[in-house]
A and B are shown apart, each in its own frame.
Chain A
Amino acid sequence: MSKILILGEHDAKTLNPATHKCVTCAKAIPGSHITVLLLGADTAAVAAQAAAIQGVDEVVRIDRAENAHPLAASFAPQIAALATGYTHLFGPSTSFGKDLTPRVAALLGVPQVSDLMAVDGAYRFRRPIYAGNAIVTLEADPARILVATVRVASFEAAPSGGAATISSRTLDVSLPSHTRYVGVHTGATDRPDLQTAARVVSGGRALGSAENFKLLFDLASKIGAAVGASRAAVDAGYASNEMQVGQTGKIIAPQVYFAFGISGAIQHLTGIKDARTIVAVNKDPEAPIFEVADVGLVGDLFQVVPELSRLIGA
């Protein structure tokens, strides 16, 4: 039997859907027994959400005042202490999981599989390298715990309908004082979240200004989409950091992705290749984005976007 421990991600109120995707990945391992681990100051609300995911057998809570913010230096020793007896430890490939999971792996003295994208067996997996230009199949030693981050864009969210048991644990682990949380600044809006949105409208350098990005926000509002951006657009200050899509930004898998004035550099494409449908608008017919687009239109975005908003709104 595979005993799988999943590092649940949450903001105290809501369990991040990345957790549901890790569950789907874990379920692909034959004979898996799945435990979701939650660290926080008060995880009661999110524990109930985790217990309701189909396929989860157990939810373990570690509530402690110092766990109010996910500092890897504090979380990692607690997770490492709890990991004995598990065959697999999965974190999501979000900034939370990517920061934390390798620290746990090193404490456990084992290597890590990053961005696990497909399960071929309990100890056989695939993952992308070179910005997705190559896919490697890896085999791990069953004698050791297998630590991995799960590439969330590769898995559907597990549905609800489960009723796992919830238990609380206290751990006798002393936590370092060398790392302190100060605060977070979010560009939070009531728009759909980029990583889970079914529709994403994205803009590149061609937008030319933050002001012009409003065109995309208008279209996005009309169709209930999240808004993304290329690195060039973020670097130029037209869009905020958390909007970046790509190798070093967010890897997303929406139903439909609209790329306006994005050339289609490999680093950008790696972030969208799991999108069901890619729509590209670019004034250069040779732009590489057209090689991956399902629907392409050669045209000026400043003309196309307002017209599209109008026609869709009608």
Chain B
Amino acid sequence: MQKIMVCIKRVVDYNVRVRVKPDESGVMLEGVKMSVNPFDEIALEEALRIKERGTNAEVLAVSIGVADTQQQLRTALAMGADRALLVQTDQPLDPLAAAHALLAIAKKENPDLVLLGKQAIDDDANQTGQMLAALWNRPQATYASKLAIDGTKATVTREVDAGLETIEVDLPAVVTVDLRLNEPRYVKLPDIMKAKKKPLDVIALDSLGVPSPVSFKIVKTEPPAQRQKGIMVKDVSELVDALKKKGLI
């Protein structure tokens, strides 16, 4: 295990309650707190643990996004990534476009393992890892809750609807991580200072020469339908009555 590439997406912080713009053109992002996608923190934590377990692999954090994404990559460096790369663009990318850009980086960097989050909490797409694996013609192991590296292969436990599935993949492979893989470490102040000296390269998306894949047209963005306000009951017998009245028990 020489090199692990971790994909980091800059997203609206998970504590922010996102609101739709009155003109239905999108969601309000001005002045909103931005963070590393929570699943990507888990991906990075896993890479760091594989490194610290003695493989000493280089951990490379990669993001495609606006110039300010450097903030999230600095966070990744402070957590312990060795090096970061920002593929800069002002265009919002859908997962297929992101996968094409990540493929170009993977081909340059030749990582043994690419770790991504299972989904970005902004678009909730859950696609990029699978698409990257397809384009790269490599194995995919999605929704990992356990990851064991053994020489040239990895054994991955996956969270599936039925329970936990285990598969074995040859490296290099693409793994997308689920919530229970690990608990990401906290960044300490000295780490933030140290991170300032670590290399963070910025290249333009255009310089990669990847095709700009077709996308969907977004017609409008609306708030979800609201549920009707319900009733409060005083005690359990009133609760039972209410359920009976609705024909639920």
Contacts and interface: CB of A to CB of B under 8 A. Distances in A.
B162 A182 contact: no
A279 interface: yes
Contact of A297 (B126, B142, B167, B239): B239
B204 interface: no
A248 B232 contact: no
B219 A137 contact: yes
Given A133-B17, A180-B167, A297-B235, A76 B230 contact: no
Contacts of A240: 163
A256 B122 CA distance: 29
A95 B248 contact: no
B137 to A, nearest CB: 8
A1 interface: no
Interface of B: 12, 14, 17-20, 27, 94-96, 99, 118-119, 121-128, 130-135, 137-143, 145, 155, 158-170, 173, 178-180, 213-224, 227-240, 242-243, 246, 248-249
Contacts of B141: 179
B161 A308 contact: no
Contact of B232 (A109, A256, A298): A298
Given A130-B124, A133-B17, A185-B163, 8 more contacts: A73-B133, A106-B130, A129-B27, A130-B122, A133-B27, A137-B220, A235-B180, A299-B235
A11 B165 CA distance: 14
Nearest to A130: B18
A230 B241 CA distance: 27
15 contacts: A73-B133, A95-B158, A101-B130, A105-B127, A106-B130, A133-B27, A134-B222, A178-B139, A188-B162, A242-B162, A273-B224, A297-B232, A304-B239, A308-B240, A312-B240
Contacts, number: 252
A99 interface: yes
Interface residues of A: mostly helix, strand, loop or mixed? Answer: mixed
A39 B230 CA distance: 45
Interface in A186-221: 186-188, 195, 199
Contacts of B126: 98, 102, 114
A308 B236 contact: yes
A137 B26 CA distance: 11
Contacts of B95: 102, 111-112
B149 to A, nearest CB: 15
A12 interface: no
A113 interface: yes
A109 B178 CA distance: 26
Interface string A273-308: 100011101000000001111111111000010011
Interface in A40-62: none
A295 B169 contact: no
Interface stretch (A20-28, A30-38, A139-147, A163-171): A139-147
Nearest to B238: A297
A134 B127 CA distance: 19
A135 B224 contact: yes
Given A99-B130, A185-B164, A135 B214 contact: no
A130 B20 CA distance: 10
B130 A130 contact: no
B144 to A, nearest CB: 12
A24 B167 CA distance: 33
A196 B173 CA distance: 34
B96 A105 contact: yes
Contacts of B239: 279, 281, 295, 297, 304, 308
A42 to B, nearest CB: 19
Contacts of B180: 234-235, 241
Nearest to B138: A178
